[in-house]
Structure 1
Amino acid sequence: MPHVIVKAWPGKTEAQKHALAVAITREIVSILGNGPDSVSIAFEEVEPSRWKEAVYVPDIKDRPDILLKKPGYQM
């Protein structure tokens, strides 16, 4: 039962969010073998001014043990 949370800056259209959810679901089904009904996806918009405190520090810097792809930036 994978649940994916995408955190991104605001400004993406509903069409872009939906296309991303479809693509993520397709890849989960293909790679992990889960059925599409077992996948849930959330999209959380985080203002750029809050990115460091709300995403970078708690999800990237403080959790290197679960980070599968590092960003190409540092804060």
Structure 2
Amino acid sequence: MPHIAVTMHSADAEKAELADRLSAAVTRTLGYGSEAVSVLVEDVVPSQWMDQIYRPQIDAHPGRLVKRPGYGPLSEQNEGEHS
């Protein structure tokens, strides 16, 4: 059962639309029914992003990233590689 966790700062309306679109993409890509998909959206204040998200979740686990961010230290590593 796919569970998608998104960490971001956004308005509630944007969260609902994102959850709908992510759920639709998962059902199309993986062939699950929409009832099998759950989406969690966690808010983070932009000024806290680097300390709360980037360093502990992104920078600390570069080998687990399926897509590298286009900002911060990891954007400069392995340039030219498809992530």
TM range (shorter): 0.7 to 0.9
Residue 38 of structure 2 corresponds to residue 34 of structure 1 = no
- TM-score of the aligned structures, taking structure 2 as reference length: 0.79
Say which SS state the counterpart of residue 65 (structure 1) adopts: helix
Tell me, what secondary structure is at the counterpart of 2:32?
coil
Q: Counterparts of 2:11 and 2:44 in 1: how far apart (Å)? A: 14
1:2 corresponding residue in structure 2: 2
In structure 2, give the amino acid aligned to 1:48. P
What TM-score results when the alignment is normalised by the length of structure 1? 0.86
Identity across matched positions, percent: 37
Structure 1 runs not aligned, ≥5 long: none
Instruction: Quote the residue 1:20 is aligned against.
Output: 18
CA distance in 2, matches of 1:32, 1:50: 34
**RMSD (Å) for aligned C-alpha atoms:** 1.3
Q: CA deviation at 1:53?
A: 1.7
